[in-house]
Structure 1
Amino acid sequence: MRTISELYEYHLHYIYSAEIQLVEGLSIMASKTTNRLLNEVLEIQLEKTKDNKKALSKLVESYLESNREITCLMVQAYLQEIQQFINHATEEEVLNVGLMVETQRLVHFKISIYSAALYYTNILNYQEDTRILGEILDGEHQNLITVASLEKDQID
């Protein structure tokens, strides 16, 4: 990579890889929880992730090197950790609370990668990309509020 534009394109592919992997991961998490509210939150997060993937697909296709193969290793490792946690959680309450915390950690990660992408789009003055990524980031901030309130309700 020699330019900020190439760096942004790389990051965009990285986010796209993350979202692809998270579709499967969120589906697994939703299927494992026995907490009705957490299940609903995870199902909503799953649908939003599918929407994000669709929006990102259009952005990725608009760049010349859209066939670039980049794997988000952070999400790959995260999903392995989730599976390991699920395998070790023997009590229902522990599983549900742990999945709530993991969901919050996931949303924080997504906020960080979308924030970075927005930084690049602002430098490059890519207004349409900024709008699309900004809408996704706003949705992730809302997801964080939802998950945090669910955790608070669980503790109270």
Structure 2
Amino acid sequence: MTQGMSMKMTDLQDLYLEQLQDVYSAERQLLESLGKMAQAASTPELRQGFELHAGQTREQIARLERIVGELGGQPGGKTCQAMRGLVAEGQEMIERQADPAVRDAGLIAAAQRAEHYEISAYGTLRTYAEILGRTEDAELLRTSEDEEKATDMKLTGLARSINMQALG
């Protein structure tokens, strides 16, 4: 059996727990990647944006640990394959020989793909929490979802100027 396939899923709460573990893995992987992306960024605003989001990501991880703990589960034990691929794309951009503005534009593209994945994941989790009557979970998950949306908007704002610089 592949990792994460051992737990039998019989109801929405089982799926909810499994998806929480998946997003926990995604956040842990992204946290590591954000530090590398911050170091690779040449634009101070972009570097600062990655560093700020790393701080938010730590808070999001703590929220997930709290929710999973209250469900009686362990947050680890599952690897988010989607984020593994998204992080690998970001790493490729870091390692590319590129003009600094072009690299920054590529880093934003990679980061926004990760943000969109997380916005989707948190939206789904929030919906599950609401259906399961877990109102407090839903509020915590909405906070994380809103933070991801705000980060995506900030990246879009930075991309406007950086993409123009990348034109050459």
Using the size of structure 1 for normalisation, the TM-score is 0.93
Distance in 2, Cα, partners of 1:152 & 1:68: 37
Identical positions, percent: 27
Counterpart of 1:20 in structure 2 is: 28
Counterpart of 2:45 in structure 1 is: 37
47 and 77 in structure 1: CA distance in 2 versus 1, 3 angstrom threshold: same
Distance apart, 1:88 and its partner CA: 2.0
Q: Summarize deviations over 1:36-86 as a string: whole Å, max 9, x none.
A: 111011111111101101111111112223266111111112111211222
- The match for 2:70 among 62, 65, 69 is 62
Specify the SS of the correspondent of 1:46. helix
Counterpart of 1:143 in structure 2 is: 151
Counterpart of 1:83 in structure 2 is: 91
Counterpart of 2:4 in structure 1 is: none
Letter in 2 for 1:50: R
Distance in 1, Cα, partners of 2:146 & 2:101: 31
Counterpart of 1:115 in structure 2 is: 123
1:99 maps to 2:137 = no
Counterpart of 2:6 in structure 1 is: none
- The CA RMSD over aligned residues, in Å, is 1.4
Using the size of structure 2 for normalisation, the TM-score is 0.87
Distance in 2, Cα, partners of 1:64 & 1:19: 20
Counterpart of 2:3 in structure 1 is: none
